[in-house]
Chains A and B, each alone.
Chain A
């Protein structure tokens, strides 16, 4: 059914989602691993993998942008796909920046907030997975993601709850003031991933609804 240009774009987008999800999974693995090991030095190689996945997602995104501008595609679809990619790209970027923060600033994650941070990490992974799967569905049955977009919102709210709980715990503890600020920033940084997933979900909702009226 698809013309050649559309087929190429779909293939690249599948590829992008796969790579971005790989980046998220590896990033989450590093975050949880750092919490368990205390010594994040062991995870430096893994961080390199996260960076590599993030940068290949970037390359694929650029490639898609080039195809979108060089091939004849409806202006409305071109705008929608470019906008969606821009939103999606913030997910692997944010994971990479959270992981780098832990390692570069050598943040020690105390057991006090481990449970919350772990929950945030797990939910973030699920949320990102649903987001990228929804993108895939958008290109095979464009109305189907509507069923899943609500889940993204629900995960984002759940992360918000754990985020508040963790920050409350940090500031009511006896930790050093500097460490408190660092930990708060880290929690906020990781929690941003689901916010970005939610924004991508909202954008997909607009893309779908626009095509249903």
Chain B
């Protein structure tokens, strides 16, 4: 369920409100990047969960990072792509803040990168409605939620050599 759906459904909202204080998330347009593309502040106040992030990483309908990247110990993935660099040791090469920036909007770290911007909602040319081929209306739901980004970042940070 997307977080938009959560916000729209009053019943779900109430359950959430009763169970825990509303999770605070930074909206895509409010994210602050530094000059090199890093994001200092977590996008969600719930700490990233590396295990969840590992799932998002391979899942076709969410991260699908594996379409372009390979990680040596991900023998669970049926196929791994090689468009982008291998992510083995990504947690050694990059700080958490840098990883957050790369996952949210890689083009701020690597200008012109082929890597899609995961936490961006507008500014597209012929934006579509997911994979239907039909027109979508901006702002589009971002490819990943704030929490999914924190989870993926937590997972990437564990990739040490």
- A interacts with B: no
Q: Which residues of B line the A interface, CB within 8 A?
A: none
